[in-house]
Structure 1
Amino acid sequence: MQVQYGAVPNPQALGNAIGNAIAGQLQQYGAQFFTADPFAGVNYMLIDQKPDCIECICPCLGEKKNSYQISVSEQTGLLAQQQLGIIKEESECAQRFFCQCWRALDLLFINNQNQILFKAQRIYKVPSVLCLPCERPEMVVSRDSEVIGYLKQPFMCCGRSECPLPILEEIDICDPSGNTRYFISGEFVQCGCVTRMCAIPRCMGPCQYIDYDIYNPMKQKVGRIRNIFNGCALEYCSKADKFLVEFPPQCTSQDKCLILFAAITIDYDNFEYTFCNLP
């Protein structure tokens, strides 16, 4: 009995076929490989709001859509080392004019390849500065229509730190199930905050900073969002603000994304003014 075997394929042709198949898969799913974790290894991030010429010349015309440059930074926040992308606002003109810093909006995180990686959506609710228990502001953060977490602003007048003081901002950072991963608390009693409220220049010493501390559920301080004095020209002639984010240790990529949008929320709630452009 004679057994016949099939012809052995040309190794070069087989290699080319496998290579073409892999190339096709990379072309189809390449974005998922190269943009899966844009925050990998990032410990400090700089958020630099771009100034708007129309707002600088005539702020009474109303609020314009905000845009923020997102970059990897070092600990001091004085130098942007690598740009990761930008965050652009999408909102309605009427709400920008009448609702100002509490308007409904969508925030799109766009990387350097012009791909939308993350989206944060906020609808208009009661302003967070009002001490009302109902209809608290909330932001939903998603990626490819999949919710990765929530930013909730609870009803309280004093912070949850070990020494509770009157607060500027309190934000809960929650996972998709609603469990609190971190919370952010900014105390009112800060040199930079007092000088800003009194329209005193913030260009010297500790007055250059306003800190919003990041706590874990055990109320341990693990990180920080810091508003940095952005120079006299931008501080007094525009609403362009700068923030340095110090991520907590063992922070996941989803947590970093949520903290990043929490910093943008702080900018809207505390540093956006149209009719009285305070520094």
Structure 2
Amino acid sequence: MTDNYTQKPVSSQPGMPGEWMPMPQVQSSPNCPPGLEYLAQIDQLLVHQQIEILEVLTGIEMQNKYQIKNSLGQQIYFAYEESGCMHRICCGPHRGFVLHITDNSQQEVMRVVRNFKCCAGCCWCADCAECGFEIQVEAPPGNIVGYAKQRQYFWKPELDVQNAEKDTILKIRGPCCLFCTMEDIDYKVMTPDLKTEVGLITKQWGGCFRECITKADNFSITFPQDLDVKAKATLLATNILIEFMIYEQQKNNNNS
């Protein structure tokens, strides 16, 4: 089953003009799609999910929103989810969605698509086409630049980061302990042969109140500054997949 969505305009985005990263003076090219020039100059992203007060008060699943910042705290992008209300209520973190990622001029520069799969989520059979969570990354919308896919695992979460041709360019390896800790949790970004660690996706500990009361999570992503911008964009989308696949699922279980 596939959900089709059309972009809806964002009425406003958080952050005053001075809080946004200045537009880099870099020309777009086939290796740097328009809108991804920001990523060419950085080696870290901070992903802050916004707390939805109505969701906290009612427990009703709302559409997710994220502020995406550089290491200085300047906002680079704003991301907002588009999904069906019944899908959010009935399917929770398993829902299909489109994530629209916009720059400081509210121009959509990236789109992340996850189609609904009724059997997805089981880590033991994730290598089966219909059983693994997968996202498609477009930059600009309509131009596929990469994919991220859940892989089969038993103890440690594993994901593949792929290019537009679905060749694996990076692998993600998580830790054994995902929840029974009050500290940051690291997911190693590895080369395809698993011999070299090149970065980290870190789930940041938000404190007891935030972790217990809300589903809003904070992450950081580090990578080599000279990494291809398309790979950086796909790592950002992989972070969102991890957030849905593991942490929204866990908090949904705790609240059920």
Report SS of the residue matched to 1:100. Answer: helix
- Paired AA for residue 66 in structure 1: N
Q: Which whole-Å CA distance do the structure 2 matches of 1:212 and 1:183 have between them?
A: 10
2:45 is equivalent to residue 52 of structure 1? no
Stretches of structure 1 that go unaligned for 5 or more consecutive residues are: 1-29, 74-79, 158-165, 197-201, 203-207
CA-to-aligned-CA distance 1:222-249 (integer Å, 9 cap, x gap)? 1100001113332221111000111135
The within-5 A match list for 1:127-206 is 127-132=120-125, 133-134=127-128, 135=130, 136-144=132-140, 145-157=142-154, 166-167=155-156, 169-188=157-176, 190=177, 193-196=178-181, 202=182
Shift in Å at residue 146 of structure 1? 1.0
Measured in 2, the distance between the counterparts of 1:45 and 1:152 equals 21
Q: What is the alpha-carbon distance in structure 2 between the residues aligned to residue 259 and residue 275 of structure 1?
A: 26
| Correspondence 1:252 to 2:228 | yes
How high is the TM-score relative to the length of structure 2?
0.79
Contact 1:63 1:274 in 2 (8 A): no
Q: Is the 8 A contact 2:202 2:219 kept in 1?
A: yes
TM, length-normalised to structure 1: 0.73
Return the letter of the residue paired with 1:127: A
Retained in 1: the 8 A contact 2:123–2:152? no
Higher relative contact order (CA 8 A, sep 6+): 2
User: 1:210–1:227: 8 Å Cα contact kept in structure 2?
Assistant: yes
How many corresponding residue pairs? 219
Is the Cα–Cα contact under 8 Å of residues 133 and 245 in structure 2 kept in the other structure?
Answer: no
Q: CA deviation at 1:154?
A: 2.1
The SS at the match of 1:227 is strand
- Corresponding letter in the other structure for 1:85: Y
Does the aligned pair in 1 maintain the 2:159–2:173 contact within 8 Å?
Answer: yes
Give 2:66's match in structure 1, choosing from 62, 65, 68.
68
TM-superposed deviation, 1:141: 0.7
Q: Which structure 2 residue ranges, 5 or more long, are not aligned?
A: 1-25
Question: Over aligned residues, Cα RMSD in angstroms?
Answer: 2.2
Do the aligned partners of residues 170 and 248 (structure 1) sit closer, same or farther apart at CA in structure 2, a change above 3 Å counting? farther
3-state DSSP class of the match of 2:56? helix
Task: Provide closer, same or farther for how the CA distance between residues 148 and 234 of structure 1 changes in structure 2, counting only shifts above 3 A.
Answer: same
1:81 partner SS: coil
**Is the CA contact (8 Å cut-off) linking 1:121 and 1:141 kept in structure 2?**
yes
Q: 2:40 is matched with which residue?
A: 40
Cα separation, 2, equivalents of 1:39 and 1:250: 10
Give CA-to-partner distance per residue, 1:155-206, whole Å, 9 cap, x none: 232xxxxxxxx11x21111111111110111021x4xx3525xxxxx2xxxx
Structure having the larger proportion of residues in helix:
1
Residue 81 of structure 1 is matched in structure 2 by: 73
Equivalent position of 2:193 in the other structure? 218
Q: Do the aligned partners of 2:40 and 2:225 also contact (CA within 8 Å) in 1? A: no
Q: Secondary structure at the match of 1:187?
A: coil
Q: Which residue of 2 aligns with 1:241?
A: 217
Alpha-carbon separation, structure 1, partners of 2:50 and 2:91: 21
For residues 119-134 of structure 1, the aligned pairs below 5 Å read 119-125=111-117, 126-132=119-125, 133-134=127-128
In the other structure, the counterpart of 2:245 is 269
CA contact (8 A) 1:239 1:277 kept: no
Counterpart of 2:19?
A: none
Give how far 1:36 is off: 4.7
Q: Distance in 2 between matches of 1:101 and 1:152?
A: 16
Q: CA distance change for structure 1 residues 103 and 58 in 2, over 3 Å: closer, same or farther?
A: same
**Based on CA coordinates, which of the two structures has the bigger radius of gyration?**
1
**Cα separation, partners in 2 of 1:277 and 1:120, compared to 1, 3 Å:** same
Q: Distance in 1 between matches of 2:36 and 2:189?
A: 25
> Quick one: percent identity of the two aligned structures?
27
SS at match of 2:88: helix
Q: Is this contact kept in 1: 2:28–2:37, CA < 8 A? A: no
